[in-house]
A and B are shown apart, each in its own frame.
Chain A
């Protein structure tokens, strides 16, 4: 089969082959479905267009994405800000490690009820839940990144008397950035999950809220379309992330390639 097609079309065929087949399969097997819970794919897609591309959609999508962004970015900032000093100091690490190990083991959705106590069911609660969930991969990976900074480079920095702030800007952060990005990447799906869960639990708008509404009112095609929407959001966010990472870590990919070749 490989010899049949030239490389570019072949790659596209391989990439879209199975998904296309699966979607086609789904369409066909559900076409005349009488099942209440599994309506025809055609109906779902139709509802999808009607629902999420209308003006009604924005009041639901925008708040969700807003909460996610605020929570995720706050978690990223805090995770890095705490992770750098902890990574740099062995004593600090030894003291904090059991506490952090415990805190990170608490499933973040568990905090939804807890935070409702403090901040009610508003946006703060959701943003805080997202922060609490997303901060751990960022923090732990930042610590690992700072710990694994090259010793020779560290000595070079010292020998040229490069100052604290400059060291942070030109050595610590760029040096740890590949690992930090791993943490940020791991935090992405966590943030999406928490955004949805916190909205399912207690909200008056948002994608998670809509999903629960559809489920409660047995609006099945709408519910399915919501699920698909979440999937698409997940994919889009991870593509955006990958684009940003490719930009900022271009030097790293080049370095690894040259190491592998040499």
Chain B
């Protein structure tokens, strides 16, 4: 479904050169939920933007469904961390969700149905006429997710979407993501700095090193498919996986990197 081949990204400024990503390669199968975790400054957002086609890599390729990604592909939708700034404040919730659909050449009836279904899928009722800034942070992020869902993407990219909400809301949203993922059978790439979240959500966790970034490890999460906040997080296996990833990240912070091939 999605392949990242030897991705490299170098930022060149008038005053300095920064190698954000040195060499990242991995592939994601159809319908997988993969988390990307790493210390801050690990180029996670850069990686996601390259995959989303928003940033051109310095070298390497992104292949989505057999096609190279050179600009944002129609089969992808992105949910950003700053939900407040990614929703149009001059449009109602309904219009926010409907806008990307206006270019997909579908008739009005179907578009309305998509909007309605997406909003109910994220558990938002009765807010269609409200403006985003009238809603709480958690609800705003749900609108952003609904917008992505209504777009019917094959791949959903999420860039630390719950970093800016409170813990309780975050727990609810995490569960929402898993529910949506199961229902829609969409492929999800989820970037986070929260190790617990990555283990709770993912089938795989890609652990990133410090910049210049490479993949430290591709950890398989062999937790059961049915997960709940209370039970899953108190399982032993959860603790082991968490510890493992945590220690890898500590190594990453100290500058350790995997031996190059």
Interface residues of A (CB under 8 A from B): 150-153, 155-156, 158-163, 166, 170-171, 174-175, 177, 251-252, 254-255, 258-259
Cα distance A175–B82 in the bound complex, in angstroms? 17
Residues of B with C-beta under 8 A to A166: 99, 102-103
Q: Is B85 an interface residue (CB 8 A)?
A: yes
CB closest chain-B residue, reference A161: B72
Cα of A207 to Cα of B86 in the assembled complex, Å = 50
Determine if A251 and B90 form an interchain contact, defined as CB atoms under 8 angstroms apart: yes
Once the chains bind, are A171 and B88 in contact (CB under 8 Å)? yes
> Interface SS of chain A: helix, strand, loop or mixed?
helix
A131 to chain B, nearest CB (A): 28
B49-86 vs A, Cβ < 8 Å mask (1 yes, 0 no)? 10011100000000000000001101011101010011
Size bin of chain B's contact surface: 20 to 34
Partner of B134, one of A153, A175, A254: A254
User: What residues on B are CB-neighbors of A254 within 8 Å?
Assistant: 131, 133-134
A-B pair count, CB < 8 Å, reads: 66
Contact present for A252 and B90 (CB under 8 Å) = yes
CA distance A170 to B134 in the complex (A): 20
Q: How far is the CA of A170 from the CA of B87 in the complex (A)?
A: 12
A159 adjacent to B85 (CB under 8 Å): no
Asked if A152 meets B134 with Cβ closer than 8 Å, knowing A160-B151, A162-B100, the reply is: no
| A to B CB contacts below 8 Å, 10 in the list | A152-B80, A153-B86, A155-B78, A156-B86, A158-B54, A159-B54, A159-B76, A161-B72, A162-B103, A252-B89
Q: Which residues of B are in contact with A by a Cβ distance under 8 Å?
A: 49, 52-54, 71-72, 74, 76-78, 80, 82, 85-86, 88-91, 99-100, 102-103, 131, 133-134, 151
Provide the bound-state CA to CA distance between A162 and B86, in Å.
14
**Structural contact, A258 and B78, CB atoms closer than 8 A:** no
CB contact between B88 and one of A161, A163, A170, A259 (< 8 Å): that residue: A170
Q: Which 10 residue pairs of A and B lie closest in terms of their CB atoms, listed nearest first?
A: A152-B85, A160-B100, A174-B90, A251-B90, A159-B78, A258-B133, A156-B86, A255-B133, A255-B89, A159-B72
